[in-house]
């Protein structure tokens, strides 16, 4: 996914430790990187793994695959409507 497609508080399917799981985005932040004296900003995505409850940081939005399906889908209308 692209960084512009991600919202804070959103739930997404992501690959964590080789397993696809659902994560919730806690924050999108920028951190300085002083690589060889050339200062620039890097974007980091802070997430929490909903299966384990552990917090982690993604260096790229590409780790997020797609929006997660709703855990509680809306009930369907009555049959015949």
For position 48, which CATH number holds? 2.40.10
Domain membership of residue 76 (yes or no) is no
> pTM for this structure?
0.77
From 54, 65, 68, select the one nearest 26 (Cα to Cα).
54
32: containing domain: 3-67
- The mean pLDDT value of the chain amounts to 86
Domain membership of residue 13 (yes or no) is yes
Say how many Å lie between the first and final Cα of the chain, rounded. 37
- Given a cut of 80, is residue 5 above it in pLDDT? yes
- Given a cut of 60, is residue 74 above it in pLDDT? no
Instruction: Name the domain count of the chain.
Output: 1
pLDDT of the residue at 26: 96
Q: 44: which 2 tokens?
A: 């980091």
Looking at per-residue confidence, does 80 or 28 come out higher? 28
* Rg of the chain in Å (alpha carbons): 17
C-alpha neighbours within 13 Å on the C-beta side of residue 35:
5
* Strand arrangement, sheet containing 55-58: 55-58, 38-49, 19-35, 11-16, 64-67
């Amino acid at each position: 996914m692209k960084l512009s497609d991600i919202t804070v508080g959103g739930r997404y399917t992501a690959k964590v430790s080789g397993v696809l799981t659902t994560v919730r985005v806690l924050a999108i932040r920028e951190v300085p990187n002083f690589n060889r004296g050339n200062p620039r900003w890097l974007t980091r995505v802070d997430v929490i793994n909903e299966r384990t409850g552990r917090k982690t940081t993604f260096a790229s939005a590409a780790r997020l695959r797609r929006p997660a399906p709703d855990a509680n889908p809306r009930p369907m209308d009555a049959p015949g409507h």
